């Protein structure tokens, strides 16, 4: 056994996202080999949508004959910020959709949005020696994406706020940002940035436009950026079931991804921000990764000027997930209604349903273990509350369930879930 640095110990100590990715990768491979029946309702792997798969394969085939393009894509490093030509095309597309005249220099391509967040979160939180302070990332609404939780190279980089829980119907609720708490937190703590995913992973919440504007104004007042994780959101893949348009404005960092379009294997993230930020991302990228990968950019390059990527998102991807979401909700109501106390967050986007079991005899961790033992993978809810120091009943009684797997898996998983939790 070697000796490891604090950095290594911090990042190898076992993380929610590590467990998730292990379940997702090894769990699936193991099941495939052993011919086991499982329901992988844990991970965030996007669905294999046949129409999109065909589009991707056709794109691959189309590129086969493009000698120069292939030679360059495989054989050249891009600059650390990404190929200029691609960023120019993307800037035109985004300017139209985000209602702001964005330039190529406002864009930095990264090795996936996870990598972008590693850089961003550690840039706006942690030790600030010049200011003689330790700043934190404020998550204005938890539960929030599990993948952030362990990204700090230092401990304790998050502070977060429990939401207001508003009942919307029988067995349904939404989370809302508690703005008085937020203002209070910003007055009393040293905050480097505000960060949220929209739609929220895991809850499927879509923070309303007015609240987004309010957040941006507050962030700007405090001279800190508002980081918005659009991995599932507008303008692509736009897995949102309410009006979701969000303009870019100075003071905002939007992070996009190709993963939920159906291309997670290409590891492509996109940061849209002021130039002082994108240029720092580029500097960091060169040190961490030399340059981003090229294939993701090549894949979508021709779908920008003609808005094809928006059409795929709105006409194929969004309807697919909407139907899946409604199906899973009906199924849950059918199987749970009679014998379990439960409530589900309104499904306004992303790939997940967020289930709350008040007063249940199992903690969410126990639910995870019980279900895993029967080949049903979900994510235990307690991983989604980084930086929350107050009591909040949802912290230990929720699970995240991926509704986007194939129908048989979802049916099987939900049946077993209903059985296990009512036993």
Residues numbered 24 to 53 that lie near its own copies (CB under 8 A) are 24-26, 28-29, 43-46, 48, 53
Separation of alpha carbons 257 and 296, rounded Å: 10
Q: Write phi, then psi, for 106 (nearest 5 degrees).
A: -85, 0
Separation of alpha carbons 112 and 266, rounded Å: 8
Exactly one of 21, 138, 239, 418 binds its own copies (CB under 8 A); that residue is: 21
321 binds its own copies (CB under 8 A): no
302 binds its own copies (CB under 8 A): no
Exactly one of 36, 70, 245, 319 binds its own copies (CB under 8 A); that residue is: 70
Stretch touching its own copies by CB under 8 A, among 14-22, 199-207, 359-367, 379-387: 14-22
Considering only residues 183 through 202, tell me which ones interact with its own copies, judged by CB under 8 A.
Answer: 192
Beta bridge partners of 77: none
Separation of alpha carbons 410 and 402, rounded Å: 8
Exactly one of 187, 188, 223, 389 binds its own copies (CB under 8 A); that residue is: 223
64 binds its own copies (CB under 8 A): yes
Cα-trace Rg, the chain: 21
Q: How far is the CB of 33 from its own copies (least distance, A)?
A: 9
79 binds its own copies (CB under 8 A): yes
CB of 226 closer than 8 Å to CB of 304: no
Task: Name, in order, each residue with C-beta under 8 angstroms of 251's C-beta and a sequence gap of 6 or more.
Answer: 216, 219, 220, 225, 226, 274
**Among residues 298 and 388, whose Cβ is nearest to its own copies?**
298
Stretch touching its own copies by CB under 8 A, among 162-170, 281-289, 365-373, 380-388: 281-289
Q: How far is the CB of 386 from its own copies (least distance, A)?
A: 13
Task: Name, in order, each residue with C-beta under 8 angstroms of 13's C-beta and a sequence gap of 6 or more.
Answer: 150
Q: How far is the CB of 323 from its own copies (least distance, A)?
A: 19
Exactly one of 89, 198, 267, 318 binds its own copies (CB under 8 A); that residue is: 267
Q: How far is the CB of 238 from its own copies (least distance, A)?
A: 18
Residue (of 162, 165, 230, 163) closest to 198 by Cα position: 230
Q: What is the DSSP code (8-state) at residue 260?
A: G
Q: Residue 169 in 3-state DSSP? A: strand
Q: What is the DSSP code (8-state) at residue 73?
A: H
Stretch touching its own copies by CB under 8 A, among 124-132, 311-319, 333-341, 413-421: 124-132
Q: What b/e sequence results for 309-334 when a residue is b if at least 16 CB atoms lie within 10 Å of its CB, and e otherwise? A: bbebbbebbbebbeebbeebbebbee
Considering only residues 125 through 184, tell me which ones interact with its own copies, judged by CB under 8 A.
Answer: 125-131, 135, 147, 150-151, 153
**Among residues 37 and 131, whose Cβ is nearest to its own copies?**
131
283 binds its own copies (CB under 8 A): yes
**Among residues 26 and 390, whose Cβ is nearest to its own copies?**
26
Residue (of 132, 166, 154, 204) closest to 387 by Cα position: 154
Exactly one of 37, 51, 76, 408 binds its own copies (CB under 8 A); that residue is: 76
366 binds its own copies (CB under 8 A): no
């Amino acid at each position: 056994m070697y000796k490891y640095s604090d950095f290594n110990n911090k990042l190898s100590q076992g993380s929610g996202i590590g467990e998730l990715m292990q379940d997702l990768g090894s769990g699936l491979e193991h099941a495939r080999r052993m011919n086991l029946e499982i329901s992988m309702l844990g991970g965030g792997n996007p669905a294999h949508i046949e129409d999109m798969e065909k589009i991707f394969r056709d794109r691959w085939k189309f590129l086969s004959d493009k000698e120069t393009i292939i030679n360059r894509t495989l054989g050249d490093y891009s600059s650390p910020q990404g190929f200029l030509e691609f960023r120019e095309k993307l800037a035109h597309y985004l300017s139209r959709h985000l209602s702001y005249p964005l330039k190529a220099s406002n864009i930095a391509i990264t090795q996936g949005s996870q990598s972008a967040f590693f850089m961003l979160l550690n840039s706006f939180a942690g030790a600030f020696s010049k200011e003689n302070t330790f700043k934190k990332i404020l998550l204005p609404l938890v539960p929030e994406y599990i993948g952030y939780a362990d990204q700090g190279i230092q401990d304790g980089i998050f502070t977060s706020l429990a939401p207001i829980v508003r009942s919307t119907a029988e067995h349904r609720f939404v989370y809302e940002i508690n703005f008085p708490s937020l203002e209070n937190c910003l007055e009393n703590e040293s905050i480097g940035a505000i960060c949220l995913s929209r739609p929220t992973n895991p809850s499927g919440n879509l923070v309303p436009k007015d609240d987004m504007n309010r957040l941006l104004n507050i962030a700007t007042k405090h001279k800190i950026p508002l980081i918005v994780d659009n991995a599932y959101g507008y303008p692509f893949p736009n897995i949102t079931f309410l009006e979701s348009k969000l303009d870019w404005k100075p003071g905002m960092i939007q992070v996009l991804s190709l993963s939920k379009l159906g291309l997670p294997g290409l590891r492509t993230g996109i940061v849209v921000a002021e130039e002082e930020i994108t240029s720092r991302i580029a500097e960091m990228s060169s040190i961490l990764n030399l340059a981003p990968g090229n294939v993701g950019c090549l894949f979508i390059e021709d779908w920008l000027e003609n808005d094809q990527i928006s059409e795929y998102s709105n006409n194929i991807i969004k309807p697919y997930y909407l139907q899946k979401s409604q199906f899973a909700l009906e199924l849950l109501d059918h199987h749970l209604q009679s014998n379990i106390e439960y409530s589900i967050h309104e499904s306004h986007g992303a790939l997940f349903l967020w289930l709350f079991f008040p007063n249940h005899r199992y903690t969410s961790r126990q639910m995870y273990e019980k279900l895993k033992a029967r080949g049903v993978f979900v994510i235990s809810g307690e991983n989604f509350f980084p930086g929350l120091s107050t009591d909040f009943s949802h912290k230990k009684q929720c699970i995240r369930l991926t509704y986007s797997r194939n129908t048989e898996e979802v049916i099987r998983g939900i049946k077993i879930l209903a059985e296990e939790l009512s036993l």
